[in-house]
């Protein structure tokens, strides 16, 4: 008989607890009545020195510069982020595996190399980088939120290619972050590790599936993290934690060797990408990983041999054309703070001379129907066959996987059905591309990008997405395989963002989701949107995101 999931979880959680240095822990009194906005705790607690707080607030690019100039050492920086990660864990439950001993040994080696050689080993020399749990860092387990893998050591030959690449670039790995079961929920909760709550509002979710990564970054426990995305798993946590998060085009970044919740399926591509509070840190990561010197396409057969190009908008400084989805995606309406965020962004771009016009969410409902159906058909057996032997209960938002498995679809998806799915997917991709291309009319260039919400919520209350599940604002672009980057706009304000009145819901689910909106409860939660480009326009997406950020900054003055 297989070991019960509760016994497995107890072992995993004790391993984590034992690995947390006692001197890094917040004192008990600081945990008794924490504020709703947990991001204020590091500073208000008095637990960190002024220098430690300075390091925690410094962007990845500036940390690297200070290490290179020997103003800071990698050991000092790594110790600070180890301590910050422990505090974030105490407040949000965002960490799975602790890699502190090897991180400090690695940082010491890098400092000694810099001292002796007088130069860095790579562009990420000495930088602590946090990793989503699915990246394999032997011998540490990669549970992906499942009891089956929670205490299973990993082998050196199984190390994820991206981990190899980042190590060559000089990165320091110090912590792995929490994910939901099989990484297939929009909030981060599992039977192994429990629930991870939000940073800006402890009563809200941090998002999923890169939720632990998102909240660790928001808590200043990491300067730069790496997540994965198959339906919004980078962008939803980035939105709920006020971050920039890039979902690249599949093939731009190496993915080989990452642990998957639905291994072997290629119908919807899972990709990895950077997450940070700084857009420049995201750009720095892309340039480093996709450098000709590292050439990850020689390590991963699915990685396209295309180095990062930097700024690509031609001519430089030209005015852009954006489509905007400003209220609903044809199925679900966004909460009032998101509407305001979209309005602010539109006005800021227009004030800067850019064109912004309404973009209809044509085919979005159909795309999501195909996406969700594929997940359940392809993932039923992959997930449930691993949870049932350990008596792991299935969370409500994942019941579709269990139902597909119980119907006998798990493991029996025939070639005819798969061909039909692929034909439908390809037709939807072609139709969307044609509609985008058709925006080049009347002497105007083609639409440069799309702006829309990352989620209908700023960050939903804990547990809500188990019954009101929605990833339609992100999942569409996974099926289309378009690059997308999130960008922060503002925060919900109870004095401005009132409930909708005189409004007719699009359907029952839309009514339930909108009824959940409470200006008092959601006050102070992040308002973050998405910028979308066409396939392989990853550099342009980050450049457009920077233009949007600059316009927002100028408009707020």
Question: So which residues are the catalytic ones?
Answer: 132, 209, 233
SS3 for 322-364 is EEECCCECCCCECCHHHHHHHHHHHHHHHHCCCEEEECCCCCH
C-beta separation of 377 from 350 below 8 A: no
Decide: 84 and 219 in contact? Cβ < 8 Å: yes
Q: Of 30, 21, 56, 433, nearest to 217 (Cα)?
A: 56
Task: Look up tokens 């707080």; give the residue.
Answer: 53
154 neighbors 105 (Cβ within 8 angstroms):
no
Q: Are the CB atoms for 227 and 183 separated by under 8 Å? A: no
CA distance 436 to 413: 33
Return the bridge partners of 532, or none.
450, 484
223, HSE (Cβ side, Cα atoms, 13 Å): 29
Q: Are strands 172-177 and 484-491 parallel, antiparallel or unpaired?
A: unpaired
Cis peptide before 405 (omega within 30 of 0): no
Closest C-alpha to 5, from 142, 146, 134, 143? 146
Report d(CA 341, CA 359) in Å as an integer: 16
Residue 502 backbone class (left: φ over 0; alpha: ψ -120 to 50; beta: rest): left
Alpha-carbon dihedral sign for residues 304, 175, 242, 77: negative
What token pair was written down for 288? 């480093």
What SS3 state is found at 283? helix
Tokens found for residue 124 = 């990420």
| DSSP bridge pairs for 377 | none
With a CB cutoff of 8 Å and minimum separation 6, the contacts of 291 are: 123, 307, 308
Q: How many CB atoms lie within 10 A of CB 282?
A: 26
DSSP string, 500-542: P-S---SSHHHHHHHHT--HHHHTT-EEEEEEE--TT-HHHHH
Q: How many CB atoms lie within 10 A of CB 373?
A: 14
């Amino acid at each position: 008989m297989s070991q019960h999931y509760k016994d497995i979880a107890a072992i995993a959680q004790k391993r984590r607890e034992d690995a947390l240095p006692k001197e890094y822990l917040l004192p008990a009194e600081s945990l008794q009545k924490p504020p709703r906005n947990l991001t204020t705790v590091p500073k208000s607690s008095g637990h960190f020195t002024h220098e430690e707080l300075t390091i925690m607030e410094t962007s990845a690019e500036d940390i690297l510069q200070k290490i290179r100039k020997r103003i800071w050492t990698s050991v000092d920086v790594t110790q600070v982020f180890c301590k910050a990660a422990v505090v974030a864990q105490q407040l949000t439950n965002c960490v799975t595996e602790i890699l502190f001993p090897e991180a400090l040994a690695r940082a010491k080696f890098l400092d000694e190399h810099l001292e002796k050689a007088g130069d860095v080993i790579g562009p990420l020399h000495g930088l602590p980088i946090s990793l989503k749990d699915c990246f394999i860092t032997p011998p540490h387990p990669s549970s992906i939120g499942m009891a089956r893998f929670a205490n299973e050591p990993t082998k050196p030959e199984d190390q994820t290619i991206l981990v190899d690449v980042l190590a060559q670039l000089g990165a320091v790995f110090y912590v792995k972050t929490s994910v939901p079961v099989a990484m297939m929920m929009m909030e981060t909760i599992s039977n192994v590790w429990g629930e991870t709550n939000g940073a800006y509002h402890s009563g809200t979710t941090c998002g999923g599936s890169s939720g632990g990564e998102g909240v660790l970054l928001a808590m200043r426990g990491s300067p730069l993290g790496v997540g994965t995305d198959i339906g919004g798993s980078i962008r939803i946590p980035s939105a709920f934690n006020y971050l920039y998060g890039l979902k690249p085009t599949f093939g731009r970044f190496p993915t080989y060797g990452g642990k998957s919740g639905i291994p072997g399926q290629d119908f919807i591509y899972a990709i990895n990408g950077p997450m940070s509070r700084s857009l420049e840190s995201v750009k720095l990561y892309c340039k480093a990983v996709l450098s000709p010197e590292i050439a990850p396409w020689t390590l991963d057969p699915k990685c396209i041999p295309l180095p990062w190009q930097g700024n690509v908008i031609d001519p430089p400084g030209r005015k852009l054309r954006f489509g905007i989805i400003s209220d609903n995606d044809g199925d679900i309406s966004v909460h009032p703070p998101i509407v305001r965020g979209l309005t602010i962004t539109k006005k800021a771009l227009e004030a800067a001379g850019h064109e912004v016009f309404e973009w209809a969410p044509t085919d979005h409902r159909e795309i999501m129907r195909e996406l969700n159906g594929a997940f359940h058909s392809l993932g039923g057996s992959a997930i449930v066959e691993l949870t049932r032997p350990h008596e792991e209960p299935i969370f409500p938002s994942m019941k579709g996987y269990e139902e597909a498995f119980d119907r006998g679809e798990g493991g029996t998806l025939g070639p005819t059905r798969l061909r039909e799915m692929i034909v439908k997917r390809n037709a939807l991709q072609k139709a969307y591309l044609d509609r985008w291309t058709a925006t080049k009319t009347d002497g105007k260039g083609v639409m440069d990008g799309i702006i829309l919400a990352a989620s209908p919520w700023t960050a939903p209350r804990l547990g809500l997405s188990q019954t009101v599940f929605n990833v339609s604002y992100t999942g569409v672009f996974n099926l289309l395989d378009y690059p997308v980057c999130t960008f922060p706009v503002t925060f919900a304000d109870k004095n401005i963002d009132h409930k909708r009145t005189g409004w007719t819901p699009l359907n029952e689910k839309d009514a339930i989701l909108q009824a959940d909106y409470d200006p008092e409860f959601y006050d102070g939660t992040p308002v973050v949107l998405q910028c979308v480009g066409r396939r392989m326009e990853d550099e342009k997406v980050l450049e457009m995101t920077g233009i949007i950020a600059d316009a927002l900054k100028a408009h707020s003055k």
